């Protein structure tokens, strides 16, 4: 790891506004651009994430570089995925100006995080990001599927989305994001973030979500089949499973699968754990062309394909 004895100079409100003025930057809601202007907040995010000097960190939406600089204080390498060409072009110079001893340890990737299929360099071990709020859930699920080498992470998202991601069965906000995130990791809320640390200030509250990778709950049925069952279960969340799952299998097969899984046919999706959904999927007949066994979701150094976009 390079010598960082001088330490990066983090961005405050004046530096953020100066950079924005230089770039003639007008943050857009379409790209979820709200830039953190408080150095204490980005240091808190890094601290809560638990990353250290051996970590290779993926950051999505680095923007002007506030969190990137705080990460470079601590970790070995940052791969920053940025969709905005203007911001991606300016970030290396910002890092060179504010963290000259550490700038070379960050690689900027100009790409849409939802369409990334591989990342340069050694396999990343952590994801730490202020995710664009309009696509936070699909980006998180895509990267968890794409990068099994990720061991842990912490992301800042809209508070309502943070609640959904970390929700447990029986909660009013438990749903598709909760179940799909639980396939990959143990997820928990890690705190709240005030609106005044952003420029421009968002009109929603923000929350931190931390997660730790775990073994997938099944290697005998494809993840995609389990997620198909999850999607069907919550498509009409007030209806019983026996009825809504008929979109993925014939009625007789659904009844038999629920019985084999030990799940009440009159239960609703909001009461089931990811393991319950796995047992149902395992008992359902395979779809056309679906293999009966698949073990590609086991965490490894190899990459797997993306998951479909999922709304929060």
Q: Under CATH, to which class is 223-283 assigned? A: mainly alpha
Q: What is the pLDDT of residues 25-53, one digit of tens each?
A: 877 665 667 899 999 999 999 999 999 99
- 13-213 and 223-283, same CATH topology: no
Tell me the average pLDDT of the chain: 90
- The answer to whether residue 263 scores a pLDDT higher than 80 is yes
Average pLDDT value for residue range 68-87: 97
Give the pLDDT of residue 300: 33
Provide the token pair at 131: 């995710």
- The answer to whether residue 311 scores a pLDDT higher than 60 is no
Give the pLDDT of residue 250: 96
Does the annotation flag 196 for ligand binding? no
CATH of domain 13-213: 3.40.50.150
Give the pLDDT of residue 293: 39
Whether 16 and 120 have beta carbons less than 8 Å apart is answered as no
Pairing assessment for the beta strands 77-82 and 56-60 based on DSSP bridges: parallel
Report the alpha-carbon distance of residue 146 to residue 135 in Å, rounded. Answer: 16
DSSP structure class, residue 306: P
The dihedral through the CA atoms of 293, 298, 301, 306 has a sign that is positive
Q: What is the pLDDT of residues 82-115, one digit of tens each?
A: 999 999 999 999 999 999 999 999 999 999 999 9
Domain boundaries, the chain: 13-213, 223-283
Does the annotation flag 63 for ligand binding? no
Give the angle 161-211-4 at the CA atoms, nearest 5°. Answer: 110
Does the annotation flag 282 for ligand binding? no
Does the annotation flag 40 for ligand binding? no
């Amino acid at each position: 790891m390079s010598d960082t004895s001088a330490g990066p100079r983090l961005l405050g409100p004046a530096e953020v506004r100066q950079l924005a003025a230089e770039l003639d930057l007008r943050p857009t809601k379409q790209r979820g651009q709200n830039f953190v202007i408080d150095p204490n907040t980005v240091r808190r995010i890094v601290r809560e994430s638990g990353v250290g000097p051996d970590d290779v960190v993926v950051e999505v939406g680095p923007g002007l570089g506030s969190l990137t600089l705080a990460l470079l204080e601590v970790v070995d390498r940052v791969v920053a995925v940025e969709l905005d060409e203007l911001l991606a072009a300016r970030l290396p110079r910002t890092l060179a100006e504010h963290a000259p001893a550490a700038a070379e340890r960050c690689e900027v990737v100009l790409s849409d995080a939802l369409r990334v299929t591989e990342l340069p360099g050694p396999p990343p071990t952590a994801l730490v990001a202020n995710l664009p709020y309009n696509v936070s859930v699909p980006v998180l699920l895509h990267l968890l599927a794409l990068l099994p080498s990720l061991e842990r992470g912490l992301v800042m998202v809209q508070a309502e989305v943070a609640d959904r991601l970390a929700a447990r069965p029986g909660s009013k906000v438990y749903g598709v994001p909760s179940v799909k995130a639980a396939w990959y990791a143990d997820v928990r809320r890690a705190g709240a973030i005030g609106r005044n640390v952003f420029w421009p200030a968002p009109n929603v509250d923000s929350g931190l979500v931390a997660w730790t990778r775990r073994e997938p709950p099944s290697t005998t049925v494809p993840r995609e089949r389990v997620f198909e069952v999850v999607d069907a279960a919550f498509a009409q969340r007030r209806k019983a499973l026996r009825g809504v799952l008929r979109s993925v299998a014939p009625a007789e097969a659904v009844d038999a699968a629920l019985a084999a899984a030990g799940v009440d046919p009159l239960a609703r999706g909001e009461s089931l754990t990811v393991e319950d959904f796995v047992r149902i999927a395992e008992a359902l007949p395979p779809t056309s062309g679906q293999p009966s066994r698949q073990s590609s979701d086991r965490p490894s150094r190899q990459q797997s394909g993306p998951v479909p976009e999922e709304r929060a």
